[in-house]
Amino acid sequence: MTGKLSSRLLAIVNALPLRDGIRVLEIGCGPGAAAREIARRIGGGHILGIDRSAKAIAQAHATSADEVASGRLSFRQASIESFELAPGEAPFDIAFAVRVGALDGRDPQAGLLAHARIRVALVPGGRLFIDRGSPLQVVQLGG
């Protein structure tokens, strides 16, 4: 277990519509601090943290053993532009991203790919939250 979340990450986690049993996809999870906090709040739910960095995923695993062992948290090395649900994996109720280049408008082509992958990974009516706003903005993914 690691220390407290930064006030910014805590505000983001607090703004998410978390509930018992929810399935959450964190895009760009880094070392897993927000994912660990969410895992503590979702009862029988599950959070999957993805990150393109093998180093970040290794660090997340190293600091999240209890939450991973509980079955509420898992990590996977993947970019959102190439993310796919694993065979038999249930879709997610919500997704969120903090400081992810493919979702902040810097690379419109990557953004189109990311939105398409997120749409497939979410349940019908699922929502994507990004760190634009106070502290989050819901992004319309289209269809």
Share of the chain above pLDDT 70, in %: 97
- pLDDT given at position 14: 97
Share of the chain above pLDDT 90, in %: 85
Measured distance CA(116)–CA(110) in Å, rounded: 10
Average pLDDT, the chain: 93
- pLDDT given at position 140: 82
Average pLDDT over residues 116-121: 97
What is the value of pTM for the model shown? 0.95
Average pLDDT over residues 68-94: 97
Average pLDDT over residues 103-126: 93
Average pLDDT over residues 89-109: 92
Sign of CA dihedral 140, 60, 53, 72: negative
Phi, psi of 90 (to 5 degrees): -70, 150
- pLDDT given at position 1: 42
Lowest mean pLDDT among 49-53, 70-74, 103-107, 119-123: 103-107
Average pLDDT over residues 78-107: 94
Contacts of 33 (CB under 8 A, 6+ apart): 2, 5, 6, 9
- pLDDT given at position 37: 97
- pLDDT given at position 2: 45
Measured distance CA(84)–CA(121) in Å, rounded: 7
- pLDDT given at position 135: 87
- Examine the pLDDT at 43 and tell me if it is beyond 70: yes
Phi, psi of 49 (to 5 degrees): -100, 130
The fold of the 7-139 domain, in CATH, is Rossmann fold (3.40.50)
